[in-house]
């Protein structure tokens, strides 16, 4: 039982909580930041988009129509420029957040001693982007594939627990389940209606902590299909689940 629990922890932590900027297709840029009074004041939005493009990101202003492939808002990063209070200097840093508001990356602080606001904001923002360039961003959607998931499961951290065989079983889930929002995530009901499974949100939209009766596991999306994964007799079982959110 202890071994099974440890593997469940590894499965959740390795797949659900490891996020990087490389997991996201594009960046959404606001035209106005909190510390300025008008859209693109001091050309901050323009300068941000320029630097993002230079760093390899595909950036869109938040009032731009998005291409079809970027219609999923949770496939985007949300960019922001933050000003720190400082005397006689201008200090800025940038953040990338996911669709739930979780910070995925926070840059180093860029500092300028220029007295002119335009010059100060430009210099400080450019310096803040130095750590963004260092990310060497490159979009990688391999994390959505089954092979990448298995790779993550095998790359166990410091726990030193010996891995067991991981057979992937297929379940007969012909009935569609329907997701109803709850305070902590969703409950999945059948047409009866009867609650079949309870889901608890994590930091990733494609991964939920899940319970089905007395069985605990995770519900994950792999190549646009949902799977309920859990341990049974120290073996990982993967059941396909038809869900309509």
CATH number at residue 46: 3.30.160
Regions of the chain with pLDDT less than 70? 1-19, 142-174
Q: Which domain holds residue 36?
A: 25-133
CA distances from 62 to 73, 118, 141, 173 (A): 11, 23, 23, 40
Residue 159 belongs to a domain: no
Instruction: Report the distance separating Cα 170 and Cα 178, nearest Å.
Output: 20
Verify that 8 and 54 share a domain, yes or no. no
Verify that 34 and 99 share a domain, yes or no. yes
User: Among candidates 46, 41, 51, which has minimal Cα distance to 117?
Assistant: 41
Of 133, 149, 172, the one marking the end of a domain is 133
Task: Kindly report, residue by residue over 51-107, the tens digit of the pLDDT.
Answer: 999 999 999 998 888 888 887 888 899 999 999 998 899 999 999 998 888 899 999
CA distances from 240 to 5, 136, 154, 169, 223 (A): 21, 36, 21, 9, 12
Residue 206 belongs to a domain: yes
Residue 145 belongs to a domain: no
Residue 227 belongs to a domain: yes
pLDDT at site 5: 53
Query: Do residues 240 and 169 make contact, with C-beta atoms less than 8 angstroms apart?
Result: no
Verify that 173 and 226 share a domain, yes or no. yes
Verify that 85 and 42 share a domain, yes or no. yes
Verify that 112 and 203 share a domain, yes or no. no
pLDDT at site 39: 93
The pTM assigned to this predicted structure is 0.54
pLDDT at site 157: 41
pLDDT at site 79: 96
Taking every pair of Cα atoms in the chain, the longest distance, rounded to a whole number of angstroms, is 68
């Amino acid at each position: 039982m202890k071994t099974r629990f440890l593997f469940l922890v590894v499965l959740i932590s390795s797949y659900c909580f490891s996020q990087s900027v490389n997991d996201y297709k594009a960046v959404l840029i606001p035209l106005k930041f909190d510390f300025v009074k008008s859209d693109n004041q001091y050309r901050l939005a323009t300068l941000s988009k320029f630097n993002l493009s230079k760093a390899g990101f595909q950036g869109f202003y938040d009032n731009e129509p998005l291409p079809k492939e970027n219609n999923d808002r949770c496939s985007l990063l949300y960019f922001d420029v933050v000003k720190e209070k400082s005397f006689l200097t201008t200090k800025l840093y940038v953040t990338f957040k996911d669709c739930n508001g979780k910070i995925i990356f926070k840059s180093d602080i860029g500092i300028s001693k220029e007295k002119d606001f335009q010059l100060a904001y430009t210099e400080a923002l450019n310096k803040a982007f130095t750590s963004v360039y260092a990310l060497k961003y490159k979009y990688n959607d391999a994390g959505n594939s089954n092979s990448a998931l298995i790779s993550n499961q095998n790359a166990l951290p410091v726990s030193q627990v010996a891995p067991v065989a991981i057979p992937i079983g297929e379940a007969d889930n012909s009935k569609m389940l329907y997701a109803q929002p709850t305070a902590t995530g969703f409950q999945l009901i059948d047409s009866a209606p009867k609650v079949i499974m309870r889901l608890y949100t994590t930091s990733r939209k494609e991964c939920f902590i899940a319970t089905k009766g007395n069985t605990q596991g995770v519900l994950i999306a792999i190549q646009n299909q949902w799977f309920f994964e859990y341990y049974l007799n120290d073996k990982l079982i993967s059941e396909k689940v038809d869900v309509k959110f």
